Structure 1
């Protein structure tokens, strides 16, 4: 009977070790697969970041070139100041052929204060 018990215990110990080996093997496979999946996801993330970074750098270069070209074209262009006109432009007193046109002569000297007081008196 004792030998039979020893066989049963031995058998149970072998089963336990076999089960432990199977579990360990499965755990190793799962860990390996998880490492692969995580590695792939990390590579995808870095690839996406690299693509985005390249696009940002390309856009930055493009904007920089546009700014440089616009600033260099501004330097080449002559800038003339134009005064705003408060009144109608006066006619030139002479045409291109030298004949007087009759324009350009002021009608009368009227000051701004005279015009303001005149406008006030009309509205009152």
Structure 2
């Protein structure tokens, strides 16, 4: 819960201004500079930050309670340096999947898996989809 506190913080209307004023840079820690700059440019476009935060704002625990388990084959790729999602939370995902489930750990990678380990992620996805 501590790691995902940021999701609750992002419900605060003042978050958008804080993020655009510089806090946004800390969100992309670990992302290669060229990628972070591209993401930041997009998020600074009118309405983009609001839309990005609304993704998190629209989520609620109550919405999830009525959902059944995931029944399709599922691959969960987690990284051991993820500051947003701890191992216990990641492993708990299995309890919500009744179909075939695979949990893979990428070591030494942060929350930004596609940017930091694109080849490893692509290999896992291709193996999963075959």
TM-score, normalised via structure 2 length: 0.17
Structure with bigger helix share is 1
Structure with bigger strand share is 2
Pick the structure with greater CA Rg: 1
